[in-house]
Amino acid sequence: MKNIKTLDQLKDKYYGEIGTTERDRLENELEALRIGFKIKSAREKLNITQQELAERIDKKRTYISKVENDGENITLRSLFDIVERGLGGRLRISFEF
């Protein structure tokens, strides 16, 4: 049997364990990508274009594209606007300690 490793084991090896600077940076980037992916998936499920979403929240289409492709640097206010005003959803935020 081959030596199969989990994704977490690979991240530990190449980026360090959870709590290290490099690993925390990686996890934050991955979470930002997940946010962008979820926004894009919801928009496509609603069958609306980036332009239509942008118009609903008074932003430019290029802004929506940037958020969908890299959710990093989005403000909390913009995230609420996109999810609630633009997509008709409800945003819930949780914290883990």
Whichever domain contains 63, its CATH number is 1.10.260.40
Residue-wise pLDDT for 16-67, tens only, equals: 888 888 988 888 888 889 999 999 999 999 999 999 999 999 999 999 999 9
Within a domain: 52:
yes
- By residue range, what is the domain housing residue 37? 7-86
Within a domain: 92:
no
Within a domain: 18:
yes
Within a domain: 91:
no
Q: Per 3-state DSSP, what percentage of the chain is helix, strand, and coil (rounded to 5)?
A: 65, 0, 35
Total domains in the chain come to 1
Within a domain: 94:
no
| Report field, pTM of the whole predicted structure over 0.75 | yes
Within a domain: 96:
no
Integer Cα distance of 58 and 66 in angstroms: 15
